[in-house]
Structure 1
Amino acid sequence: MIFWFGELWLGSDGHFIEAPLNSYIKNLVRDRRIRIYGYEIDGEIISYLNGVKDKADLTLCNSDYLGAEPALFDSIICNPPYMRFQKFLNRHDVLPIIEKQIGKKLIGYSNIASVFLVKALNELKKNGRLAFIMPFEFFNTGYGREIKQSLLDNKLLKQIVVFSNEKEIFPDAITTVCILLCKNDGVEERIKITQINSNHDLSRITDISQYYHETIEPSRLPSKEKWTPILLSLFSSSPPPNDFVHLSTYGSFTRGIATGANEFFALRKSDVFNNSLPDKFICKCITKSSQIRKLVFTHEDFDKLYDLDKPVYCLNITDKPSDEVMKYIAGGESCGFHERYLTKMRNPWYKLEKRKSAPILCGVFNRGRIKVIRNLSEAISFTCFHCFYPNMFGEKLLNKIFIYMLSNIGQRIMKSNKRSYGGNLDKFEPGDLNDILLPNMSQFEMISEDEANEIVKIAVIDETQAIQMSNVLIQRIIDEKRVSMDQNSVKAVGNSASFIYSGYHFTS
Structure 2
Amino acid sequence: MRLEGELGSGFSIAKVQEVAREGSPPNNFLFTTSGTSSPLGRRQRTVPLASIAHIRRGVATGCNQFFLLTDEQAAKLPDTTYVPAATRLRDISTDRLDEAAHDAIGARGLRRWLLWLSEEDADDHIVSQLLEQGEVNGVPDAHLCKVRKLWYAVERIAAPDLLFGPMSKGRFRLIVNDVKAVPTNTFYGIRIRRTLESVEPVAMLASWIRGPAGQDALANASRQHGSGTLKIEPRDLADLQIPIHIAQALD
Q: Normalising by the residue count of structure 2, what TM-score does the alignment of the two structures yield?
A: 0.75
CA distance in 2, matches of 1:324, 1:443: 47
Whether contact under 8 Å (1:250, 1:393) holds in the other structure is: no
Whether contact under 8 Å (1:247, 1:434) holds in the other structure is: yes
Whether contact under 8 Å (2:224, 2:231) holds in the other structure is: yes
Change (3 A) 1:395 1:291: farther
Which aligned segments of 4 or more residues in structure 1 are displaced greater than 4 angstroms?
Answer: 393-396, 442-445
Counterpart position of 2:70: 268
Higher radius of gyration, 1 or 2: 1
Counterpart position of 2:154: 352
Counterpart position of 1:17: none
Partner-residue secondary structure (3-state), 2:80: helix
State the shift of 1:357 in Å: 2.2
Q: Does 1:296 align with 2:96?
A: yes
CA distance in 1, matches of 2:79, 2:191: 25
CA distance in 2, matches of 1:340, 1:311: 20
- Partner of residue 246 from structure 1, selected from 38, 48, 54: 48
Q: Deviations over 1:428-481 (max 9, x none)?
A: 222121010010137866xxx9xxxxxxxxxxxxxxxxxxxxxxxxxxxxxxxx
State the shift of 1:280 in Å: 1.1
Aligned residues: 204
Q: Does 1:369 align with 2:154?
A: no
CA distance in 1, matches of 2:225, 2:158: 31
Counterpart position of 1:458: none
Counterpart position of 1:432: 236
Q: Deviations over 1:234-283 (max 9, x none)?
A: xxxxxxx973110011112110000011111010012224xx21111111
- Partner of residue 422 from structure 1, selected from 209, 212, 226: 226
CA distance in 2, matches of 1:394, 1:439: 18
Counterpart position of 1:162: none
Q: Does 1:407 align with 2:211?
A: yes
Counterpart position of 1:386: 188
Partner-residue secondary structure (3-state), 1:309: coil
CA distance in 1, matches of 2:216, 2:44: 16
Whether contact under 8 Å (1:360, 1:374) holds in the other structure is: yes
CA distance in 2, matches of 1:395, 1:428: 30
State the shift of 1:393 in Å: 8.0
Whether contact under 8 Å (2:119, 2:150) holds in the other structure is: no
CA distance in 2, matches of 1:416, 1:346: 37
Q: Deviations over 1:397-446 (max 9, x none)?
A: 3111111101011110122211220111111222121010010137866x
CA distance in 2, matches of 1:416, 1:395: 33
Percent identity between the aligned chains?
24
- Partner of residue 286 from structure 1, selected from 76, 82, 86: 86
Asked which structure has the greater RCO (Cα within 8 Å, sep 6+), the reply is 2
Q: Higher helix fraction: Structure 1 or Structure 2? A: 1
Whether contact under 8 Å (1:267, 1:313) holds in the other structure is: yes
State the shift of 1:327 in Å: 1.1
Q: Deviations over 1:50-78 (max 9, x none)?
A: xxxxxxxxxxxxxxxxxxxxxxxxxxxxx
Partner-residue secondary structure (3-state), 1:296: coil
> Which segments of 5 or more consecutive residues in structure 2 lack a partner in the other structure?
1-42
Change (3 A) 1:393 1:436: farther
Change (3 A) 1:303 1:393: closer
Change (3 A) 1:345 1:289: same
Partner-residue secondary structure (3-state), 2:118: coil
CA distance in 2, matches of 1:342, 1:333: 14
Q: Deviations over 1:95-124 (max 9, x none)?
A: xxxxxxxxxxxxxxxxxxxxxxxxxxxxxx
CA distance in 2, matches of 1:411, 1:305: 27
Partner-residue secondary structure (3-state), 1:283: strand
Whether contact under 8 Å (1:251, 1:394) holds in the other structure is: no
Coordinate RMSD, CA, aligned? 2.2
Partner-residue secondary structure (3-state), 1:297: coil
